[in-house]
């Protein structure tokens, strides 16, 4: 199983050279590993119970992410993001960068960080016409989305897994991580803004 996992990992890492989608590589690797596990396991009922336990954990995360994506689609369908872009009136790029960074930080706490990064980058396409400047905005958006998602039990898959699993509470995450996440968001934003 370890050899299959390592080969699958390299297939994911080198997807462009292999011309094989990383999702396909991951699914094939997973299927082969579980098949090997079932063939080597003496008690089939116990192996099925273990598989169902892991599928249940993964499913709870996927259903949460599907819900978050549905919210984003609803907001987009009803022109919610156009409303946000219409409210931003500044003409200074540095101020726009800070506004986008702060907005991304807090939106990411409510949605997952990947969805927020995609949404905010799409918003920047409307607000920043120059492609080179958009790349700077996209970099800050990724930083802000990750920082914003880390302090909320909803914003990052890792914290969501820990929260759903009962390893920590929402108040623990917010109390311990909010200030470091604000610093991790603001410092790079200010450096890029200057």
CA pair distance 145, 25, nearest whole angstrom: 27
Give the pLDDT confidence of 40-53 residue by residue, as tens digits. 888 888 888 888 88
How distant, in Å, are the alpha carbons of 8, 30, 70, 111, 165 from that of 65?
25, 21, 9, 8, 16
Determine if the pTM surpasses 0.85: no
CA pair distance 140, 194, nearest whole angstrom: 13
**CB neighbourhood size of 73 (10 A):** 11
pLDDT in tens, the chain (194 residues): 999 999 999 999 998 898 888 889 999 999 999 999 988 888 888 888 888 888 887 887 778 777 767 777 787 788 777 777 777 777 788 888 888 899 999 988 887 787 788 888 878 877 888 888 889 899 999 999 999 888 887 777 777 777 777 887 888 888 888 999 999 999 988 888 88
pLDDT for 130 equals: 85
Which residues have CB under 8 Å from 70's CB, separation 6+? none
Q: What are the structural domain ranges in the chain?
A: 79-193
pLDDT for 73 equals: 77
pLDDT for 96 equals: 86
Positive or negative: CA dihedral 81, 76, 174, 149: negative
Question: Do 103 and 120 form a contact (C-beta atoms < 8 A)?
Answer: yes
């Amino acid at each position: 199983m370890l050899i299959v996992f390592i080969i699958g990992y390299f297939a994911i890492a080198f997807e462009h050279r292999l011309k094989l989608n990383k999702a396909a590589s991951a699914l094939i690797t997973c299927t082969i590993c579980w098949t090997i596990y079932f063939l080597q396991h003496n008690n089939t009922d116990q192996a099925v119970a273990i598989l169902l336990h892991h599928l249940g954990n993964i499913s709870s995360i996927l259903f949460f992410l599907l819900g978050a994506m549905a919210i984003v689609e609803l907001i987009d369908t009803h022109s919610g993001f156009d409303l946000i872009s219409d409210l931003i009136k500044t003409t200074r790029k540095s101020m726009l960068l800070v506004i986008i960074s702060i907005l991304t930080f807090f939106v990411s706490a409510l949605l997952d960080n990947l969805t927020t990064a995609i949404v905010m980058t799409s918003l920047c396409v409307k607000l920043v016409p120059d492609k080179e400047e958009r790349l700077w905005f996209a970099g800050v958006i990724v930083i802000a989305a990750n920082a914003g998602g880390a302090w909320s039990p909803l914003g990052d898959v890792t914290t969501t897994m820990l929260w759903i699993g009962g390893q920590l509470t929402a108040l623990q995450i917010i109390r311990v991580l909010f200030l470091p996440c604000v610093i991790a968001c603001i410092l790079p934003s200010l450096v890029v803004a200057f």
